[in-house]
Amino acid sequence: MTIDLKGKSLVVTGGGTGIGAETAIVAAEAGMRVCLCGRRMPPLEETVERIRSSGGEAIAVKLDVTDPDSESHLLDAAEEAFGTPWAVFANAGRGLNRPVHETTDAEMQAIFEVNFFATHRLLAEAARRMISHEQGGHLLACASCLSRFSIPRHGPYAATKASQDMLCQAMRLELKPHGIHVSSVHPITTRTEFFDVAAAHSGTSDYRAIEETPKLFVQSGRRVGKAVVRCLRKPRPEVWTSGMVRMATAARCLFPKLFDGKIKNLNR
Ligand SMILES: NC(=O)c1ccc[n+]([C@@H]2O[C@H](COP(=O)([O-])OP(=O)(O)OC[C@H]3O[C@@H](n4cnc5c(N)ncnc54)[C@H](OP(=O)(O)O)[C@@H]3O)[C@@H](O)[C@H]2O)c1
């Protein structure tokens, strides 16, 4: 099945920068009308301007996805501008570079609030609206390859991503009878502001997650954006942008000891 995206609308959280911005731009190139949100207006306006200057349609909504009712506010704004959204991409998120035993309860709750609870609130509200409109749709969440394995100092982050992944797996089965597709997105290391934001939240200048990753496993935000839009056209359960990493996650399930041995040299 191939879906014609022309004229359909897409909501993207965290659409001002990185993967969210690139997805919005590629989607607009495919004819989608895009509603973006984030806490900072300047990057959102920049993405909107890039889309409009190429003849596309986009609006920006300034909000914090962790605020109560922000999901309703965002979906109302999208609906008012472009009608009921066809697709909603819960992409806003951040990292934390911290060993699990050094992570405070407050830090764990804060990262779950943005990465997991905000994803749940948005996708659940979008699903309820799509069900009542009886016209199907597509829900996506930006998880990570770290939803399937973890590495030292990224346990809290990986836990939020595994939780998003599980949410998508269940929603996919629950919403199928309503014609609603659900996909999880699993990028590998992607050159974005993500690493600066994670370092700032962790109070460190720890950039090892990107500096020590072999170039083969580092990609651009646009590559992820293109993969997401391909999935919007031809819906499938999961979006992976590295076949090799995907295979490694499958091998880890069968041979965890072997996998730990390969990962342990990162524990410095
Ligand atoms: N970069 C990677 O290597 C990588 C790999 C796998 C998965 N991911 C996932 O990809 C997603 C996008 O990250 P990215 O790499 O594109 O990094 P990014 O450029 O830092 O993008 C994160 C976006 O989320 C927005 N955001 C953060 N907190 C928010 C909040 N409370 N309310 C509203 N918006 C918020 C940020 O905008 P404001 O600051 O203006 O709010 C920003 O636009 C994240 O879920 C991340 O976990 C990234």
pLDDT at 45 over 60: yes
Index of the ligand 1 atom closest to the CA of residue 195: 1
The pLDDT, as a whole number, for residue 196 is 92
Ligand 1, residues at Cβ distance < 6 Å: 13-14, 16-20, 38-40, 43, 64-66, 91-94, 114, 142, 144, 187, 189-190, 192-194, 197, 221
Ligand 1 mutation pick, 40, 91, 220, max ligand atoms within 8 A of CB:
91
Index of the ligand 1 atom closest to the CA of residue 197: 20
How far, in Å, from the CA of 252 to the mean position of ligand 1? 27
Q: Quick one: tokens of 188?
A: 């590998």
Ligand 1 mutation pick, 47, 115, 142, max ligand atoms within 8 A of CB:
142
Index of the ligand 1 atom closest to the CA of residue 157: 47
Quickly count: other Cβ atoms within 10 Å of residue 74's Cβ: 24
The pLDDT, as a whole number, for residue 266 is 59
How far, in Å, from the CA of 85 to the mean position of ligand 1? 21
Index of the ligand 1 atom closest to the CA of residue 13: 34
The pLDDT, as a whole number, for residue 49 is 98
Report the amino acid identity of residue 122. Answer: L
Q: What is the pLDDT of residues 23-39, one digit of tens each?
A: 999 999 999 999 999 99
Q: Whose CA is nearest to atom 39 of ligand 1?
A: 39
What pTM, to 2 d.p., does this model score?
Answer: 0.97
Q: pLDDT band at 216, cuts 50/70/90?
A: confident
Question: 9-266 adopts what CATH topology?
Answer: Rossmann fold (3.40.50)
How far, in Å, from the CA of 3 to the mean position of ligand 1? 27
What average pLDDT does this structure show over 84-111?
97
Token pair 């370092």 in the structure block, residue = 199
Give the C-alpha separation, 59 to 44, whole Å.
9
The pLDDT, as a whole number, for residue 19 is 98
Give the C-alpha separation, 129 to 17, whole Å.
27
Give the C-alpha separation, 47 to 52, whole Å.
9
Q: What is the pLDDT of residues 164-179, one digit of tens each?
A: 999 999 999 999 999 9
Lowest mean pLDDT among 9-23, 100-114, 120-134, 207-221: 207-221
Token pair 């300034």 in the structure block, residue = 62
The pLDDT, as a whole number, for residue 1 is 83
More confident residue, 214 or 239: 239
Assign residue 69 a region: left if phi > 0, alpha if psi is -120 to 50, beta otherwise? Answer: left
Q: Domain map of the chain by residue range?
A: 9-266
Token pair 């993969």 in the structure block, residue = 227
Hey, which bits of the chain come out as E strands?
Answer: 9-13, 33-38, 57-62, 87-90, 137-142, 180-186, 189-191, 218-220, 238-240
